[in-house]
Amino acid sequence: MNVKFDGFLDNFFALEIVPGKKIRIPYWRNKFFKNGKRIQGPFGGKGTPAQIKRASIKKAREGKISLNQLSSAQIRTFMKQKKIGLDCSGFTFQVLNFLKPGFYKRFKKAPGISPNPIRRFNARALTSNQNSQPVKKTKNIKVGDLIPVSFSNGKINHVLVVVEAGSKEIIYVHSSSRGKITGPHLGKIKIIDPESGLEKQHWLEKTKKDLNLLEFASRLLIKIGVRRVI
């Protein structure tokens, strides 16, 4: 990764909400319902770091809370309580758009009516056959490639994006609630057999259940493997 890309990612890993208080953006996904209505957080888990910062400050003012008097951990807890955060596809979209500005303009969108493109690309849309193609061997993986994951129901419901691809390891980023680190963060895969897919490599990131991410995910990951956006 280069300095500019590192700086871009730092906006997600260490967002300065108020001077001197840097926060890893929490994970949030609009998947909960109450009385038949979806519970929405600010920007629906799709906000940019600047939007997430503004939403946090606004919610604090509404609640007459001084963020300056809170610790970084307390501010992050406050953000979670107010449903302020970022989901996996919202983060992946922004990373891809940094690497390939405007990539989405030729993509087939997920169903919906929002004119905001980031809201029209969930994990399934980003990794669909219309928008991506398979990469079968680990040695051919490149920065910007996507790793679709299924945690349940045999459907793609999570996505990772590769940010560094070397001969010895793959580094990816994603926003998740299942790992020991939550929200946007890095993960590593140690390459054991470059001629095989990622299911044959050593995944280092651990979930809360102390399983590596590959062990925790379903076999759909193995069947689909890595996808490269067209």
Question: Exposed (0-12), middle (13-18) or buried (19+): which is 192, by Cβ within 10 Å?
Answer: exposed
pLDDT band at 106 (very low <50, low <70, confident <90, very high): confident
Alpha carbons 202 and 189: distance in angstroms, whole number: 6
Residue with tokens 């379903």: 218
Mean pLDDT, rounded, for 219-223: 74
Which is nearest to 149 in space by CA: 172, 168, 120, 116?
A: 172
Instruction: Write down the pLDDT at residue 32.
Output: 59
Instruction: Write down the pLDDT at residue 96.
Output: 96
Question: Across the chain, where does the E strand assignment appear?
Answer: 15-18, 21-23, 33-34, 37-38, 132-135, 146-149, 158-165, 169-176, 183-190, 202-203, 226-229
Which is nearest to 46 in space by CA: 142, 2, 129, 112?
A: 112
Instruction: Write down the pLDDT at residue 38.
Output: 64
- 3 state DSSP class of 148: strand
Instruction: Write down the pLDDT at residue 37.
Output: 67
Neighbours of 114 (CB within 10 A): 12
Mean pLDDT, rounded, for 70-77: 97
The residue extents of the domains of the chain are 3-81, 88-229
Instruction: Write down the pLDDT at residue 168.
Output: 97
Q: What are phi and psi of 154, to 5 degrees?
A: 70, 15
* Most confident option among 87-101, 102-116, 144-158: 87-101
Instruction: Write down the pLDDT at residue 29.
Output: 86
Neighbours of 139 (CB within 10 A): 13
pLDDT in tens, 10-61: 999 999 999 999 999 999 987 655 666 666 788 989 999 999 999 999 999 9
Mean pLDDT rounded to a whole number for the chain: 91
Contacts of 167 (CB under 8 A, 6+ apart): 139, 191, 194
